[in-house]
Amino acid sequence: MTETLLEDKRELLHSLRNKSLTGGGEDRIKKQHDQGKYTARERIERLIDPGTFMEFDRFVKHRCNDFGMEKNIYLGDGVVTGVAEINNQKVAIYSQDFTCWGGALGAAHAKKICKIMDFALENRIPIIGINDSGGARIQEGVDALAGYAEIFYRNVKASGVIPQISLILGPCAGGAVYSPAVTDFIFMVEKISYMFVTGPDVIKTVTHEEVTKEELGGASTHNEKSGVAQFKCFDEDECFERVRELLAYLPRSNFTAPSEKLTSDPVYRDNLKLKELVPTNPKKPYEMTDIILEIVDDSHFLEVHKDYAKNIIVGFASIGGIKIGIVANQPSVLAGVLDINSSCKAARFIRLCDAFDIPLLTLVDVPGFLPGTVQEYGGIIKHGSKLLFAYAEATVPMITLITRKAYGGAYDVMASKHIRADVNLAYPTAEIAVMGAEGAVNIVFRKELMNLTGAAFDKKKAELVKSYEDNFANPYKAAEVGFIDSVILPEETRQRLYEYFKVLKDKKVELPKRKHGNIQL
């Protein structure tokens, strides 16, 4: 009798386990596959190290009895949660199941997500959220809304403590968008990912604008125009690969010392490709990514926000196994000028690196801030100050290398010595000045030139421009007063950066006691 009872209990457990695996049923799973999407469980299995997933709360059910919901129950309540490993590192994860009420969030669904988020924070491991949901479960009313707010609160509480990564692998609308917005990174996939506060139908009713879901909130829109998302992927498999690549550069938490990245790339190799890369003509563009790829380990650079504000580059790499974040002006796009979007993009990346003790390398070739009424009316002063604030607040090791131009206020803002970068270097091609030679001559010698015309004017101005360039279009004036620590040759860049980062690895900075700074928002 006892053996029979035990066997019955075992059969019940197996039955419930199998039932939980089917989500909303085979027909809905097929529909998910027909749309080119994996199911919630398939996504987890494709993302993590094989065989490492430990599920939580797989038998949870909702308790709503309104609108006939008591007759419509799925085990797990439309979300799969648990702990797994990625690159042998523990992570917490949740994955919304669109086959169950379109992934709509109710009280039990939210409680499961909150539980795994609490687990992640208490155990100091990253949290990954896979979003595929039609929004709040209307049948549960304010309980569903309360569930969203509980998730938002935990996102904010965990910010800067553990890495938070959001994968948008379906719709994400209304209040649901604010959880991903608070996290550190958002991944989207072309043609299946959508994020918007209000959908196309509501917009048409209220503003009479006609727009498609893809135009309003697709992967390209949020990666190229709004800057909401950091990564755009071709399909879900590429998305999972990029997440694994990103996690290789992030620590488990702000309590964990950064680990080294394995590499066989010699630290002391010469960067001979860099000898002729920076043009002597200050107006000629070049690719800053060519410098980055030459100096980092194995020419591997994980660019973040690649398709947004392309006049500045941010991303992760390593030098001699030391993991670093890189911020670099891009001379081939708008001459590398700083504007509203590039300032915000770089500032947020700097703050992330600082939160997780990732050293920063800044490569500078900047002519200044972008002039014009569009920028001024848009708040370039306010938004540009975010970049200044982020650098000045950072306490991680910071090395700055000026490759060519560093003019005006943009020189100050881009991790200059004056806002406490640890090591400031320059190539012999560097120009550090209030402005370019021609503009300076027009202002300083205005009276002298105003009475000249024709050939006399051209000759005199050329002489003054050359004199200015000889005196100021070089790094040595700044080096004379200690604002540049060393002028280096391009071919020795990699080894010099490695040596400095190695010296700075135990850097400690004591900040004034305060609740928090008041960065411009």
Structure tokens at 392: 């000045």
**Enclosing H/E stretch for 131:** strand 127-131
Distance between CA atoms of residues 237 and 280, nearest Å:
44
The structure tokens listed for 228 are 């909401």
Contact 520, 385 (CB under 8 A): yes
CB 132 within 8 A of CB 37: yes
Terminal C-alpha separation, the chain: 69
443: confidence class by pLDDT, cuts 50, 70, 90: confident
304: Cα separation from own chain's centroid: 5
The tally of CA atoms less than 13 A away on the side-chain side of residue 502 is 10
Residue 191 has pLDDT above 90, yes or no: yes
- Helices 340-355 and 380-393 pack at an angle, to 10 degrees, of 20
- What residue has token string 């039932």? 19
Considering 173, 410, 415, 437, which one is annotated as catalytic? Answer: 410
Percent of the chain with pLDDT over 90: 74
pLDDT band at 1 (very low <50, low <70, confident <90, very high): low
Pair 103, 68: CB distance under 8 Å: no
| Interacting residues of 372 by C-beta distance below 8 A, sequence separation 6+ | none
CATH no., domain 2-247: 3.90.226.10
Q: Which of 19-28, 29-38, 266-275, 305-314 has the lowest mean pLDDT?
A: 19-28
Angle among Cα 102, 225, 249 to the nearest 5 degrees reads 75
Catalytic residue among 321, 408, 409, 439: 409
DSSP letter (8 states) at residue 258: P
User: Which tens digits make up the pLDDT trace of 198-211?
Assistant: 889 999 999 999 99
Q: What angle do CA 220, 222, 227 make, to 5 degrees?
A: 125
Task: Report which DSSP code applies to 144.
Answer: H
Cα 503 from Cα 496, distance rounded (Å): 11
CA atoms within 13 A on the CB side of 360: 35
How far apart CA 437 and CA 491 sit, in angstroms, is 27
Q: Which of 141, 146, 160, 175 is catalytic?
A: 175
pTM, full prediction: 0.94
List phi, psi (to 5°) of 327. Answer: -120, 130
Set 24, 174, 217, 368: catalytic member = 174
Whole-number pLDDT of residue 18: 79
Q: Is 5 exposed, middle or buried (0-12, 13-18, 19+ CB in 10 A)?
A: exposed
Say how far apart CA 65 and CA 83 lie, in whole Å.
31
* Residue 448: Cβ within 10 Å count: 12
Sorting pLDDT into bands at 50, 70 and 90, what band is 14?
confident
The CATH architecture one would assign to domain 272-435+474-506 is Alpha-Beta Complex (3.90)
- Whole-angstrom CA distances from 85 to 45, 89, 128, 162 are 11, 5, 11, 15
Tens digit of pLDDT for each residue in 381-407? 999 999 999 999 999 999 999 999 999
Tokens of 276: 């002729």
139, pLDDT greater than 90: no
Distance CA(312)–CA(338), nearest Å, equals 8
Give per-residue pLDDT as tens, 375-388: 999 999 999 999 99
Annotation says 479 is catalytic: no
103 is an active site residue? no
Given a contact cutoff of 8 angstroms between Cβ atoms, the answer to whether 221 and 214 are in contact is: yes
Residues 486-520: tens digit of each pLDDT: 999 999 999 999 999 999 999 999 889 999 999 99
**Sorting pLDDT into bands at 50, 70 and 90, what band is 71?**
confident
* Residue 129 a catalytic site member: no
